């Protein structure tokens, strides 16, 4: 080895620890700057600021911009090859776009009109700077959260904390002066934020008259984040833009989103976001088509209403901008397409993303077979089995049984009661709608207090069961309910194995399903008991309905929510949080896990009869 090579190698080894320390310090400062920038944006657009306050906010923006430039430049200069490997192409493009903001600083404003002037003004525009800096801030914060997973932090605990942080941020945003008409108490803001993030729909105030357009925008963003899952969005930003996650990070994210392998991890995240945006866009179109030129709204208001309800329905949130929810008089006649579209969005959001991915695989398989037939003119007669996986079969069958049974039951009980005076088509539409919504959607078209006791019991059963696992829905999930029923049938038949659709269910699935059912019943009893102490004048039926609705993240109520005291609202908020994060997930984050023993005690039986 030549002498100068030895010198450079020695110098590299000597400086590398200091370089790493410098880059870590810059990364930490960049995290703080990202958080400060987001707070600055919230402060500017949430309050009416004076000229001095605007100067301070602009200073925060400039400092953040400078820190980002220094951080990116330092990484590329001091760790060029490592940065190129760790940054994805899209992140590199964003970095170059940030460098282009230097053009208005380096070059004076062109005196002549033309393309050069337009380019200069574009890169000097405040909107361009804010969007770019906001993207970088989200990237930095997402990368920071994913790095926490790399420290072997309990994933269940991280998931619960992430929801809690978003709830607190949403509470602060909803209390901003520009988000409400005449202000809101911190308890009501916390309750509404929890309901939005946990996609529940219970609200102590009238959404249409309390919140401004800015407030409704905050609510729908909280619903979208809560419906997709905080960690899903965080993982997507970190992996799609940066791509520098560790193997342990990827394993944790794979378990959270139920991906088949590490190779399909990013594609699964893309499918989740793609399905969400596509379904919500199609739903928004049909909702707008139904209300267009029928409710006295402007085109902008119609699009806003359609977008809000499409997101709220797919995320099973149950929030509505109409006074009286979807029981608004202007909607109750000649708007069956609106209710059917809402119902289909709720169903698609409630069956789960793994099933939507399975549908995609099935559709692509048949399209390939059809294309092969078109090219070769030969029909492929090979019968393909197991296109539908076991989870898809169970969820679709249970969903079909619950929807058909619920529609027939509610139609029978309410035909001449709550649906009296409606046309034949309206009655069946409302019966179907009211069979769909208890499965964690929370919309209501009729006053639930007008329903018969039998319909209310069906409501509570459906709210307790909920939707499918890995979906925007809540409840104990139809997967767990189906496994418990199958296990009951197996016990009654005296079989020691649980078989369905040619598959034997694992012992772990049975244990987790039984634990979920027992825990949910225990939590409901505890909170009903606590709420009965706080609300002695409320009926036991209304309290039980409220607790089941909150735990199932449904959002339906027997008009009890607005009358709750502040303590009861906090109790219901906690119950909504528990229902959204998940009982098993929450307990895994709290209870210390026991290591597997390599020994077994002698087995014995106890008397159960």
Residue 54 domain-assigned (yes or no): yes
The pLDDT-based confidence of 160 (bands split at 50, 70, 90) is confident
Q: Which of 38-52, 151-165, 278-292, 572-586 has the highest mean pLDDT?
A: 278-292
Q: What are phi and psi of 505, to 5 degrees?
A: -70, 145
- Higher model confidence: residue 144 or residue 537? 537
Beta strands in 480-573 (DSSP E): 499-500, 503-504
Taking residues 77-81, report their average pLDDT.
Answer: 63
What pLDDT shows up at residue 84?
A: 47
pLDDT at 68 over 60: yes
Residue 230 predicted with pLDDT over 70: no
Supply the pLDDT for residue 609.
Answer: 63
Residue 281: band (very low, low, confident or very high) from pLDDT cuts 50, 70, 90: very high
pLDDT band of 268, cuts 50, 70, 90: low
Distances (CA, A) of 252 to 152, 241, 257, 469: 9, 18, 9, 17
Lowest-confidence region among 74-83, 235-244, 295-304: 235-244
Task: Please give the residue that has the higher pLDDT: either 385 or 182.
Answer: 182
Mean pLDDT of all residues in 80-86? 49
Other beta carbons within 10 angstroms of residue 395's beta carbon come to 26
Residue 454 backbone phi and psi in degrees, to 5:
-65, -45
Q: What is the number of structural domains in the chain?
A: 1
pLDDT of 86 reads 47
Q: Report whether pLDDT(92) > 80.
A: no
Task: Give domain status of residue 143, yes or no.
Answer: yes
Query: Cα separation of 498 and 207, whole Å?
Result: 47
Q: Does the pLDDT value for residue 564 go beyond 60?
A: yes
Q: Is 416 exposed, middle or buried (0-12, 13-18, 19+ CB in 10 A)?
A: exposed
**Token reading at 198:** 């946990």
256: confidence class by pLDDT, cuts 50, 70, 90? low
pLDDT for 7 equals 45
Give yes or no for a contact between 347 and 473, defined as CB atoms under 8 angstroms apart.
no
Average pLDDT over the chain, rounded to an integer: 80
Judge whether 498 and 506 are in contact, CB under 8 Å: no
In this prediction, residue 554 carries a pLDDT of 87
Better pLDDT: 583 or 415? 415
Tens digits of residue pLDDT in 488-522: 888 888 887 887 877 888 888 888 888 888 889 99
Q: What pLDDT is stored for residue 151 in this prediction?
A: 56
| Token pair in block for residue 559 | 């008009």
Give the per-residue pLDDT at 383.
62
DSSP state for residue 307 in the 8-state scheme: H
State the pLDDT confidence band at 178, using cuts at 50, 70 and 90: confident
pLDDT value at residue 11: 47
* 171 or 260, which is more confident: 171
Residue % of the chain over a pLDDT of 90: 13
Query: Within 10 A of 151 (CB to CB), how many other CB atoms are there?
Result: 8
Residue 260 pLDDT greater than 60, yes or no? no
Average pLDDT over residues 283-287: 92
Question: Which tens digits make up the pLDDT trace of 300-333?
Answer: 888 989 999 999 998 888 888 888 788 888 788 7
Q: Which domain holds residue 65?
A: 1-149
Greater pLDDT, 605 or 400: 400
Worst-scoring range by mean pLDDT, 170-174, 261-265, 342-346?
261-265
**Structure-token pair, residue 567:** 């303590």
Mean pLDDT across 154-163: 70
Closest CA to 282 of 345, 352, 192: 345
Is the model's pLDDT at 2 over the cut of 60? no
427: in domain: no
Q: Quote the pLDDT of residue 8.
A: 45
Note whether 501 and 391 are within 8 A (CB). no
The two structure tokens encoding residue 492: 């009654």
Residue 543's pLDDT is 93
SS3 for 150?
A: coil
Examine residue 80 and state whether it is found in any structural domain, yes or no: yes
Q: How confident is the model at residue 5 (pLDDT cuts 50, 70, 90)?
A: very low
Residue 252's pLDDT band (boundaries 50, 70, 90)? low
Residue 85 lies in a domain: yes
413 versus 28: the higher-pLDDT residue is 413
Given pLDDT bands bounded at 50, 70 and 90, which one contains residue 241?
very low
Across the range 394-405, mean pLDDT stands at 90
Out of 112-116, 232-236, 435-439, 525-529, least confident range:
232-236
Q: Do 238 and 245 meet the contact criterion of CB atoms below 8 Å apart?
A: yes
Q: Is residue 593 part of a domain?
A: no
Q: Return the closest-CA partner of residue 220 out of 327, 348, 317.
A: 317
Does the pLDDT at position 452 exceed 80? yes
């Amino acid at each position: 080895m030549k002498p100068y090579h030895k010198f450079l190698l020695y110098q590299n080894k000597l400086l590398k620890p200091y370089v790493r320390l410098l880059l870590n310090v810059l990364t930490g400062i960049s995290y703080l700057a990202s958080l400060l920038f987001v707070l600055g944006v919230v402060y500017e657009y949430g309050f009416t600021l004076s000229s001095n306050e605007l100067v301070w906010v602009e200073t925060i923006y400039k400092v953040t911009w400078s820190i980002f430039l220094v951080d990116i430049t330092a990484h590329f200069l001091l760790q060029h090859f490592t940065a190129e490997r760790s940054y994805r192409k899209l992140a590199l493009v964003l970095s170059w776009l940030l460098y282009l903001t230097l053009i208005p600083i380096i070059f004076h404003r062109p005196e002549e009109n033309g393309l050069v002037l337009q380019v200069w003004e574009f890169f000097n525009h405040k909107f361009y700077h804010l969007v770019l800096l906001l993207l970088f801030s989200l990237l930095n914060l997402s990368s920071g959260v994913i790095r926490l997973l790399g420290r072997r932090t309990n994933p269940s605990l991280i998931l619960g904390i992430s929801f809690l942080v978003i709830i607190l941020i949403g509470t602060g945003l909803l209390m901003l002066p520009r988000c409400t008409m005449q202000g809101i108490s911190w308890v009501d803001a916390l309750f509404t934020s929890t309901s939005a993030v946990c996609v529940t729909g219970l609200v102590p105030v009238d959404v249409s008259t309390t919140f401004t357009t800015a407030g409704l925008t905050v609510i729908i963003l909280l619903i979208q984040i809560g419906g997709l899952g905080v960690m899903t969005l965080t993982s997507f930003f970190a992996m799609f833009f940066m791509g520098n996650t560790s193997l342990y990070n990827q394993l944790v994210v794979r378990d959270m989103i139920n991906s088949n392998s590490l190779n399909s991890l990013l594609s699964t995240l893309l499918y989740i976001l793609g399905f969400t945006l596509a379904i919500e866009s199609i739903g928004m179109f049909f909702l707008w088509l139904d209300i267009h030129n029928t409710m006295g709204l402007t085109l902008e208001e119609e699009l806003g209403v359609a977008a809000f309800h499409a997101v709220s329905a797919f995320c099973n949130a149950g929030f509505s901008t109409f006074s009286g929810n979807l029981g608004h008089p202007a909607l109750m006649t000649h708007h069956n397409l609106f209710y059917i579209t809402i119902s289909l969005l709720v169903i698609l959001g409630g069956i789960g993303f793994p099933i939507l991915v399975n549908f995609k695989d099935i559709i692509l398989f048949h399209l390939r077979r059809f294309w092969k037939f078109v090219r070769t003119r030969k029909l492929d007669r090979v019968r393909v089995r197991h296109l539908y996986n076991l989870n898809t079969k169970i969820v679709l069958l249970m969903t079909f049984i619950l929807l058909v049974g619920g529609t027939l039951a509610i139609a029978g009980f309410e035909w001449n009661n709550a649906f009296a005076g409606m046309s034949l088509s309206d009655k069946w539409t409302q019966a179907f709608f009211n069979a769909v919504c208890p499965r964690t959607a929370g919309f209501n078209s009729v006053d639930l207090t007008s329903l018969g006791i039998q319909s209310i019991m069906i409501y509570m059963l459906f709210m307790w069961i909920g939707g499918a696992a890995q979906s925007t829905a809540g409840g104990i999930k139809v997967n767990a309910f189906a496994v418990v029923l199958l296990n009951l049938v197996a016990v009654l038949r005296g079989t020691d194995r649980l078989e369905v659709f040619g598959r034997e269910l694992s012992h772990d699935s049975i244990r987790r399903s039984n634990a979920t059912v027992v825990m949910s019943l225990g939590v409901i009893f505890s909170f009903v008991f606590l709420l009965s102490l706080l609300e002695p004048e409320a009926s036991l039926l209304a309290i039980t309905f409220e607790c089941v609705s909150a735990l199932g993240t449904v959002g339906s109520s027997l008009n009890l929510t607005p009358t709750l005291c502040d303590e009861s609202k906090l109790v219901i908020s906690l119950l909504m949080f528990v229902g959204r994060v998940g009982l098993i997930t929450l307990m895994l984050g709290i209870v210390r896990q026991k290591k597997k023993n390599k020994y077994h005690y002698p087995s014995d039986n106890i008397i159960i009869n």
